[in-house]
Amino acid sequence: MNIKKIFKTAQAKHLPIFQFNFSDLSQLKGIINGAKKFKKPFILGTSEGESNFLGLNFAVAIKKEVEKELGFPVILNLDHGKSFDHLKKAIDAGYEMVHFDGSSLPIRENIKITKKVASYAKKRGVLVEGELGFLRGTSEIHREMAKIKVKDMTLPREAQLFVKETGVDALAPVFGNIHGIYKKMPSLDLKRLSMIKSRVGKWVFLVLHGGSGIPSSQIKGAVKKGIVKINLNTEIRLAWRKVLEKSLKDNPQEVAPYKLAPQVIKAIEKVIVKKMKLFYKI
Ligand code: 13P
């Protein structure tokens, strides 16, 4: 599978590749059932926590089976890796893409580790995503209003420096996006995204982190301005939790997980279809 080619096609057609994170079989089945309706390549994402829970080798085996079942490309990405060591393990296990999240580090330190990851990954044909700017929040429901400061956002000229020095294939910038769902979501700064794109768009694929809770019109706007990959986690987690709770409540005597799971799977399938429908026809 030529992943770069898949990304290039997505970029040329302004049709983004979705990354759906998972750590549980019901989530995975919901993702598969949703994505298979569209027959378009997508990414299975696991964060460090999700990958530690699943096991790196197990996640790789799962992705291979999913791809076999669907008959079109499915890419496995290690999302938000916090250390070279974890990403090295993921690459050695068979992940096809890795994301080093050095966003909390000073830029020089971020560049240094991202470059090390990129050099290890590239020799093995693995795609690398870097991150610059301070992307706040975690993939959960937050009770408060989202607070994004301008100083957290990616500076276009720093993005250029970062991309040139690290050699990453993809870049996750911060332009008003945030992980998780908040009482009040911020608006995306599409002007900043355009400026970043004009600096680095020739060399990297731009990634939208924090896909949950962003109004569809803004997601579409971001893709028009150059986003090629969209990450989604909280909306999947939320559907899992809400419907699992209901399913448990509705069936107080039931102890067989597979009998409780169908409603959960259906709810996640709906989340996936709703997102993919923004760009693809069934
Ligand atoms: P959300 O949890 O906001 O969807 O963000 C997911 C993400 O960006 C994973 O990298």
Q: How many domains does the chain fold into?
A: 1
Chain centre to alpha carbon of residue 271: 15
Counting from 1 in the atom list of ligand 1, the atom nearest the Cα of 179 is 3
Residue 281 inside a domain? The answer is: no
Q: How far is the CA of 261 from the centre of ligand 1 (A)?
A: 23
237 Cβ closer than 6 Å to some ligand 1 atom: no
Q: Is the dihedral of CA 232, 280, 11, 182 positive or negative?
A: negative
275 Cβ closer than 6 Å to some ligand 1 atom: no
Contacts of 102 (CB under 8 A, 6+ apart): 109, 110, 111, 113, 114, 130, 131
Task: State the catalytic residue, choosing from 79, 101, 169, 189.
Answer: 79
Active-site annotation holds for 101: no
Residue 260 inside a domain? The answer is: yes
**Residue with the two structure tokens 């005597």:** 253
Residue 223, both tokens = 């893709």
Q: How far is the CA of 72 from the centre of ligand 1 (A)?
A: 24
Nearest-angstrom CA–CA distance, 153 and 54: 32
Q: Which of 234, 237, 240 has most ligand 1 atoms within 8 Å of its beta carbon, as the pocket-test mutant?
A: 234
Contacts 24+ apart (CB under 8 A), 215-221: 215/185, 216/278, 218/187, 218/188, 218/190, 219/278, 220/278, 220/279, 221/188, 221/190
Render pLDDT for 224-260 as a digit per residue (tens, 0 to 9). Answer: 999 999 999 999 999 999 999 999 999 999 999 999 9
Residue 282 inside a domain? The answer is: no
Q: Which of 20, 212, 240 has most ligand 1 atoms within 8 Å of its beta carbon, as the pocket-test mutant?
A: 212
Q: Is the pTM of this model over 0.85?
A: yes
Exposed/middle/buried for residue 123 (C-beta within 10 Å: 0-12, 13-18, 19+): exposed
Residue 108 inside a domain? The answer is: yes
Q: What is the CATH number of the domain that holds 211?
A: 3.20.20.70
63 Cβ closer than 6 Å to some ligand 1 atom: no
CB 28 within 8 A of CB 272: no
Nearest-angstrom CA–CA distance, 157 and 200: 9
Residue 23 inside a domain? The answer is: yes
204: containing domain: 3-276
Residue-by-residue pLDDT tens, the chain, 282 positions:
799 999 999 999 999 999 999 999 999 999 999 999 999 999 999 999 999 999 999 999 999 999 999 999 999 999 999 999 999 999 999 999 999 999 999 999 999 999 999 999 999 999 999 999 999 999 999 999 998 899 999 999 999 999 999 999 999 999 999 999 999 988 999 999 999 999 999 999 999 999 999 999 999 999 999 999 999 999 999 999 999 999 999 999 999 999 999 999 999 999 999 999 999 999
Chain centre to alpha carbon of residue 83: 18
Residue 272 inside a domain? The answer is: yes
**Residue 156: enclosing H or E segment and its boundaries?**
helix 156-166
Render pLDDT for 206-231 as a digit per residue (tens, 0 to 9). Answer: 999 999 999 999 999 999 999 999 99
Residue 135 inside a domain? The answer is: yes
Residue 226 inside a domain? The answer is: yes
